[in-house]
Chain A
């Protein structure tokens, strides 16, 4: 029966393509995933900067208002309800010239899992900004 396979080459391109296609697709998925995470990180960092700035500019915003500022600064890639926002100190506003750190974290969905990278299909993107 295998004699027939040895003598004909028909379909070999197809077979090879079947072997390499998953690798290529994985590569492309990885690129998309990287771009997605990178976009999230960049935007999250901008949002934490903006929030930290609003916390130290002397307008007397509370921690909730500062975190709302961070949520408003997120792009449409985010679901703002899933954003975790923490301030240090926990209670705002602070006295003049005191440092405030805004820590944002966002559980981003993983579309391509590379050997256990990310747990439960989620990778948490974090950004911290300290201002005074």
Chain B
């Protein structure tokens, strides 16, 4: 015999207020997450703003370095640019900006408050205390954000006339490089994106080519619009750049090299047109001969070749 339904069971079926209860419970959780996300977004937003201001300020400051520079003029530049990017003076001066030198990927600061004419780099630090937003009722300390930026002036490497190295314009255009960006050149002539060019009509042999790669060619007659013959073969390309990389003091031969940007290279002998010049630093290289790959940093996308010849170097074997 079945038992009659108890009163408890009918209570269990009472669904009034169920959704409201459920929603209000979840609402607390959702609002908590939303508050956290908003706080995080605010921190991210301020961090991005501070980093941009630090980058801009240090970049501006490095441009005023040189003879006759004083710490106060550097600080004034930093302050003006940082304030234009919504950063307050006290946020910049809590950690005072430093002048110094940049070498081997490291910043070597001068003494605090000093900026003499030997300075080539500036470091800016911005500190900002961001109070708690949504969770301020917890009365915990806010976050202190720090943005650091160091800019340096590349050393002028004298004697960078043109090297007999052509890079295909179509390749560079596709890369859409910004100044300071790195790019890799590889492959052999015709199939790759670089090639040997005979700048003076007299350096088609490997030996003459190598000599010009190591010493540059200073000739004002070599200009955009010129047609130049191309040289074939790239057997010693690795040794050439190895030799250039040997410099241990400034001016470094592998920095500020001037290459020609040309029309596409033909598969064999032929002619290309020089379209413009670029200035690059060699970053690294691997492989040799046809498998050679060089990674360069774009220093100047539209360079003027220097007029002074650099010292001749012997090929390192």
Residue B19 is within 8 A (CB to CB) of chain A in the complex = yes
The reply to whether B52 and A57 contact each other, CB–CB distance below 8 Å, is: no
> Which B45-90 residues sit within 8 Å CB-CB of chain A?
45, 48-49, 52, 55-56, 59-60, 63-64, 77, 80-81, 84-85
Partner-binding segment picked from B10-18, B122-130, B222-230, B246-254: B10-18
Q: How far is it, in angstroms, between the C-alpha of A59 and the C-alpha of B299 when the chains are bound?
A: 10
B85 partner, pick from A42, A69, A130, beta carbons under 8 A: A130
- Name B176's closest neighbour in chain A (CB-CB): A72
The reply to whether A24 and B52 contact each other, CB–CB distance below 8 Å, is: no
Residue A9 is within 8 A (CB to CB) of chain B in the complex = yes
The reply to whether A49 and B18 contact each other, CB–CB distance below 8 Å, is: no
Asked if A16 meets B52 with Cβ closer than 8 Å, knowing A9-B13, A97-B64, the reply is no
Residue A96 is within 8 A (CB to CB) of chain B in the complex = yes
Report the interface size class on chain B: 35 or more
How does the 8 Å CB contact mask read for B154-182 relative to A, with 1 for contact and 0 for none? Answer: 00000000000000000000001011000
How does the 8 Å CB contact mask read for B284-312 relative to A, with 1 for contact and 0 for none? Answer: 00000000000000001110000000000
The reply to whether A42 and B48 contact each other, CB–CB distance below 8 Å, is: yes
The reply to whether A38 and B19 contact each other, CB–CB distance below 8 Å, is: no
B56 partner, pick from A23, A24, A60, A130, beta carbons under 8 A: A130
A residues at B contact (CB < 8 Å): 9, 12-13, 16-17, 19-20, 23-24, 27, 31, 34, 38, 41-42, 45-46, 49-50, 52-54, 56-57, 59-60, 69, 72, 96-97, 99, 101, 128-132
The reply to whether A38 and B15 contact each other, CB–CB distance below 8 Å, is: no
The reply to whether B30 and A27 contact each other, CB–CB distance below 8 Å, is: yes
Residue B29 is within 8 A (CB to CB) of chain A in the complex = no
The reply to whether B14 and A9 contact each other, CB–CB distance below 8 Å, is: yes
The reply to whether A31 and B64 contact each other, CB–CB distance below 8 Å, is: no
Residue B34 is within 8 A (CB to CB) of chain A in the complex = yes
Residues of chain A within 8 A (CB-CB) of B63 are 96-97, 132
Asked if A54 meets B179 with Cβ closer than 8 Å, knowing A31-B34, A38-B45, A99-B84, the reply is yes
